[in-house]
A and B are shown apart, each in its own frame.
Chain A
Amino acid sequence: MRANLLKYALLTLGLTSLPLQASIGDDAPSPVPAAEAAMDSDDGGNPDAIYIPNDTPTTAQTLPNPVVVNGYVHQPGTGPEDQSHASGDIVDVYQVRLRAGQRVTLTMAGDGVQADLDLGLADLDGNLLDASAGQMRVESLTVKQDGDYLALVGANRGASRYELRIDQAQGRAAPSLRLSDRFVAGEAIVRFSERAAGTRSVLQTQAGIMGALEGRENEPRQRNALLNLAGLRQIEGYRTLASIESPGFPGGFQPPEPVARDKLATLYQLKTLALDPEVELAGLNYIRQILFTPNDPHYPLQWHYPQISLPQAWDVTTGANVIVAVVDTGLVFSHPDLQGQWVAGYDFIKDPVNAGDGDGIDPNPEDVGDNPDGGSSFHGTHVSGTLAAATNNAVGVAGIAFGAKIMPLRVCGRTNCTDYDIEQAIRFAAGLANDSGTTPPRRADVINLSIGGPGFTPGSQAVYDQVRAAGVIMVAAAGNDGVSEMNYPAAFAGVIAVGAVDINKALAPYSNFGSWVSVVAPGGNTGQDVNGDGKPDGVLSTATSDGSGALVNGYAVWQGTSMATPHVAGVATLMKAVAPSLTPQRFAELLTSGALTDDLGASGKDDQFGYGLINARKAVTAVGGGSGGASRVIDSSLLNFGINAGIMTSAP
C-alpha cells in the first residue's frame, strides 16, 4: 500500500456517524423542516429492503428534500455475496427537486481510493451537469439553479456503503475534483516520486520524451511538471495504467458539451495517474482569477468591504436588476459618484415645516435639509453610497451592490423622521397603497432604514408585516446608544436589526445590543486608526457638506449603525440579484442557519453580535437556499462506518 493510501485510510479512523442536531435560533421565523430519512431501493446488502432497481434515469428513485439517504453501490464482483454481487450495482439514481445554494454531500464508508464512489448531478434526461470525482471519502456538489435533478452515486472502484445528504450548504465544501471547477482540460500537474540519481521510471521517461521534464536532467529533486494527458495516453507506460482507468462517470453518464466531456475525462485520467506508484502527487491545472478590484481611487481605504468578504461576492454578482430603497434624508443628486445609480423616488414628509421644501409630500426626494436651520447632514447620501455608489468608474469610492439602483425616499426633515412618513415610504417601496396615490413602476426588493428611535405605535407592526408579505427585505439600524433597549423600526418583527462592529470585529462602543439584534456589520470607529491608513476607521462613502455655506460633494468616513445597516442591505441586494425569488422569510432562515455570517462572540446567536458578522461571499453562495436549514438524521443505523476498534470495514 502506498504511503498516501495509508494516509487516506488513517483519515477515516476518526469518522463517526453521529446524528446532527438541527440548529435553529429561538426566534427562527418559521419551523425548519428536518431532513427525511430514506434508503437506497436496490440495496442488495439490506435484507429489510424491497429490491427496486434505481440504476437509470427512467428508474430513478424519487427523494424528498431535505433528505439523508443510506445506500450501497459496487462494481461487479466486489463487496459481499449479496443479490447484486455478480452483476454489480454501479450507480444509484435519485430524482429530487433542488434549490440553488443547496449542497449534495456523499460520504462513503470506503476509503475513497480502493473503494471509490463518485457523485453526480444530471438533468432528467441523464445529461451530466456536474460531478465530484475525487479520491476522498466525502464528495459534494453545490446546486447552482433551482430545478429537478438526478442525483447520481456511482462506484468507480470497489464497493462501499454511503450516506447521501441533501440540505442547505453550510461551511466550506469538502475538497474534491469537480467537473464545474475551472481547470485546463487534458492537463495535469504531476510530481514524480524521488528515484535514485540519474534514473527515471517508464512514465517519467515518456514524460521526458514529451518535453515535460526538459532541462531538469541534473536537478537533484523532483518538482512539479505539467503533463499533457492526451499525449500521455499514447505511450506504452501509460497504457498499462490506462487498463484500470474507468471510462468516465460510473453508469456511463456524460455531459452533453464536448468541452465538459474533455474535462470529465481529465478528472478520471487524473485518478489513474494518482494511483501510479511513480507519481507522488497529481492535480488539476486550475485556472485562477484575480478577484475583482475596483479602480475607484478611495477603494483601498474601504477596509469594511474585505471585512465582509465583498470582493469574493463581486465575482458572483454586483446586484444588477435589483432595487434597494433608502428611507432617509433623501439624496444629493449632484454627487458625481451616484450618477446613474438611482430610480425615481419620493418625498414623503407630510408636514411642510418639517419638509422645508415649501410643501408636503411630493415626487422630489432631493435632500434639502434635515436640521431646523436649513442645513443637512446628507445622511441619505452617505448611506446610498455604501449601498450602490458608482464603482470601477475611477471616481471616489465603491458601493456594495453597485449594479443595483437606489430608490431614494425622503422621510427625515428639519425636525425628525416620523413613523407615519416612514410607513408611507416603505409602503410605496413595496408597491402598496400609500398617501402619494402612486406606486413605483417596479417595487423595491430591499429597504434600508438607517434611522431609528425608541417606542412604537401598536399599529406600525402591521405595516411592516404587510411590506414583508409583499416580499421586501427590510434592514434597519439597531441604534447608537450602547444600550439594550429596543430601537424601532429595527426591533419590529420581520425587520433585520443591524448592530455595528469596528475594524477589529469588536462590537463598536456605541452599538446597541440585545437578543433583538439580528446581525452585525462594519459601522466603524472614527476614534481610531488601527490600520494606519491615515484616516479614522469609519465607513468611507459619498458625502456632502454645507458647513461652509456652500454645497460640497466629497467622500467621508462616518461611524454608526446607520453605516452598518447598508452593508447588510447591500448584501441582501446582492443575494436578490442571484436569486430573485429570495423572500424575507428565506433570508431570515438563512441568517438563522448561519449561512450568511461569520460567527462572532459566543457560539451561535448571542446578544452582542446576533448571528454574527455578515459575509457577502457566503451570502451569495447560499442564496436561493433549499427548503430546509440544518438537517437531522433520523436513522442512520444502516450506515456502518466501521469505526469499531479502529478498523475500517468498508466493503472489499
Chain B
Amino acid sequence: MSRFSGMGVILVLALVGYAQPGDPVAAPANLPLAALQSQDQCGGLSRPTVRWIVDPGEWRTVYAQLHNQWMTPPPPPAVDFPREGVLLIAMGQQSSSGYGLTLADERATVRDGVLTVRVNWREPAPGRRLAQVITQPCLLATLPNAGFTRIQIVDRQGRLRLEGKR
C-alpha cells in the first residue's frame, strides 16, 4: 500500500547551489521533495508546526517523539545529513479521522530565501460521519539542505497554512 514513490533525493545543485544556512538564493529555484512518512498519529504534535531538521541527533529525538504512542517505535529512516534535511509539517490536534497531510508536489521552490512547499491539506467536509479518534496528522519529507531562511506551507489552492523559520 505504498503511497510514495522513490525516496531518493536528486539534487539540483546547479539551480540552487550547495548553500549554507543564511545564504540568500537570488533566483527562484526548485528543490526535489521526497516524502518519508505521512501519518495520522504524530505524538506530541498537538499544535500546528513546521520544523526544519538538519541535525542527526535532533532527528532521532523528534522521530522518537512522533512515534512515542507505539509500543515498538520504528527506527528513523536514513537521512543523508548534512546534504539534506527533514521537513516536519504538523496540522496539530484534530477531533476525528479525515484530516491528513501529503505532498501535493514533488518539488519545492525557494525564492528570496523562502522555501515554499505545497501540500494536500486534507480536512473532512462539515457534517460527515467520521471515526471519533483524536488525530495529530503530520508529514515528514526530505529535501536538499538549501539556503532558505523561512518556510511556507501552502495548500493546493495556494492558501498559506503554516509558516516557520529555519
Contacts and interface: CB of A to CB of B under 8 A. Distances in A.
Interface of A: 298, 301, 328-329, 368-377, 379, 382, 412, 415-419, 422, 450-455, 477-482, 487-488, 510, 526-527, 535-536, 538, 540, 543, 545-552, 554-563, 565
Interface stretch (B15-23, B39-47, B106-114, B145-153): B39-47
6 contacts: A375-B1, A418-B129, A450-B131, A453-B127, A538-B69, A550-B2
Contact of B72 (A538, A548, A554, A563): A554
A556 B132 contact: no
Contacts of A548: 36-37, 74, 77
Contacts, number: 145
A526 B130 contact: no
Given A377-B40, A527-B46, A562 B133 contact: yes
Contacts of A546: 1, 3
B129 A417 contact: yes
A328 B131 contact: yes
Contacts of A545: 39, 70
Given A382-B133, A481-B95, A455 B37 contact: no
Task: Decide if the interface of chain A is mainly helix, strand, loop or mixed.
Answer: loop
Contacts of A417: 128-131
Given A371-B122, A375-B1, A556-B69, A547 B39 contact: yes
Contacts of B72: 554-555
Closest 8 CB pairs of A and B: A547-B39, A477-B132, A549-B2, A560-B133, A416-B128, A379-B131, A562-B132, A480-B95
Contacts of A419: 129
A377 B133 contact: yes
Contacts of A450: 131-133
Using C-beta atoms within 8 Å of the partner chain, give the interface range for chain B: 35 or more
B100 interface: yes
A546 B39 CA distance: 8
A559 B131 CA distance: 12
A547 B132 contact: no
Contacts of A418: 129
B43 A526 contact: yes
B122 A451 contact: no
Given A454-B127, A455-B127, A562-B132, 9 more contacts: A375-B3, A417-B129, A450-B133, A453-B128, A547-B37, A547-B40, A549-B1, A556-B41, A562-B133
Task: Decide if the interface of chain B is mainly helix, strand, loop or mixed.
Answer: loop
B125 interface: yes
A576 B80 CA distance: 56
Interface in B59-77: 68-72, 74, 77
A480 B132 contact: yes
B133 A563 contact: yes
B124 interface: yes
B133 A559 contact: yes
Nearest to A417: B129
A380 to B, nearest CB: 8
B161 to A, nearest CB: 17
Interface string B69-101: 111101001000000000000000001111010
Contacts of B77: 548
Nearest to A301: B71
B142 interface: no
Contacts of B125: 416
A328 B4 CA distance: 26
A272 to B, nearest CB: 57
Contact of A374 (B1, B43, B120): B1
B12 interface: no
A477 B97 CA distance: 13
Contacts of A551: 1
B102 interface: yes
B129 A555 contact: no
A551 B1 CA distance: 7
Interface string B151-166: 0000000000000000
B69 A371 contact: no
Nearest to B7: A549
Contacts of B97: 329, 370-371, 377, 379, 412
A556 B70 contact: yes
Nearest to B100: A371
